[in-house]
Amino acid sequence: MSCRSSALVDILEETDTSRLRGGIESDLSLSCVIHIILKLVLTYISRKDMTRKFKKDHLKETKTASMTENTGKNKYKNVFPYDETRVILDLQPGKAGSDYINASFINFSLLFLGVPSVTVICDGGWSKRSHKHSYNALGGVGVIIGAETKKNLHLGVRNKYCYICNRASNLKVDAKEHECFKNWDKSSQAMEADIIVEGFLKANEHGVRYMHLIGDGDSSVYAQIMQNVPVWGKYVKKIECSNHVCKCVCALILRNLLMKTQSTKAREN
């Protein structure tokens, strides 16, 4: 998952987008649109390949995490603490690897009111539509992931439906004792924002504050954070996910091309 907004900004600056400013009235030929899209995609892929190569060439040592006695302590196969920044436990005599734990110290370069500030990636969603039908799911999910650690900091689920409660209601009887998963009675669209705000409110339990948010173009989540997270919520900065920006730009180009093509055909007929 790549969320470096500056990458796409650089690409757009290198691409001649002046021909897009006129919208559907601009003189965009099919070959021009294809050329722009291909340049965006190929340049973006090239940047990602360069980033991977740089990371590979400059990757820090993780020898301790790769030792036989420590491999079983790693929750993920590809997420290891660096040797120079790993948390070192007290070594127990006679127990090899007893000083190892899959954890690293993080260099907090920014403090907000004396509390460490971290960057997080947030996203959520619910099933919105199916083939030829408008549809809103009765359940949604949202997550907050640490941008540096790539670990889950918060996971939330919202459900508007419980089978047992619904069946009892239809039969007009009292529902039997059960674990009810229904925890939401508002709109499906509001599920994601509520989950993310809940995660931000619990940030103090981790001893940090999420002052930089990487996410998609949905402004409702950001607005809810600024409104409902006390003291520091209004100071949170949002960073647009480059993947979502690229997707929106390509969709806009294709939509304008389609509208222009349809308009041209209508005039010809």
Same domain, residue pair 100 and 112: no
Same domain, residue pair 180 and 252: no
Same domain, residue pair 220 and 246: no
Same domain, residue pair 83 and 162: no
Using a 10 angstrom Cβ sphere, with 0-12 exposed, 13-18 middle and 19 or more buried, the burial of residue 113 is: exposed
The reported pLDDT for the residue numbered 52 is: 59
* pLDDT by position in tens, the chain (length 269): 444 444 444 444 444 444 444 444 444 455 666 666 666 666 666 556 655 554 554 567 888 888 888 888 887 777 788 887 788 888 888 887 788 888 776 665 556 667 888 889 999 888 776 666 677 788 999 999 988 778 889 999 999 999 999 999 999 999 999 999 999 999 888 899 999 999 999 998 888 889 889 888 778 899 999 999 988 888 898 888 777 777 777 777 777 777 777 777 667 66
Same domain, residue pair 142 and 97: no
CA dihedral 23, 28, 31, 35 (to 10 degrees): -50
Angle at CA 86, nearest 5°, toward 203 and 77?
85
Same domain, residue pair 134 and 173: yes
Other residues' Cβ atoms within 10 Å of the Cβ of residue 38: 10
Q: How many domains does the chain have?
A: 3
Same domain, residue pair 218 and 128: yes
In the block, residue with structure tokens 């969603």 = 125
Same domain, residue pair 82 and 38: no
Same domain, residue pair 125 and 192: yes
Same domain, residue pair 86 and 18: no
The reported pLDDT for the residue numbered 79 is: 78
Single-letter amino acid code for the residue at 174: D
Please tell me the distance from the alpha carbon of residue 136 to that of residue 126, in angstroms, as a whole number.
7
Structural contact between residues 87 and 101, judged by C-beta atoms closer than 8 angstroms: yes
The reported pLDDT for the residue numbered 10 is: 47
The reported pLDDT for the residue numbered 2 is: 45
Please tell me the distance from the alpha carbon of residue 134 to that of residue 29, in angstroms, as a whole number.
33
The reported pLDDT for the residue numbered 259 is: 79
Q: Residue 166 sits in which domain range?
A: 108-235
Same domain, residue pair 55 and 22: yes
Please tell me the distance from the alpha carbon of residue 136 to that of residue 187, in angstroms, as a whole number.
9
Same domain, residue pair 112 and 189: yes
Other residues' Cβ atoms within 10 Å of the Cβ of residue 134: 7
The reported pLDDT for the residue numbered 34 is: 66
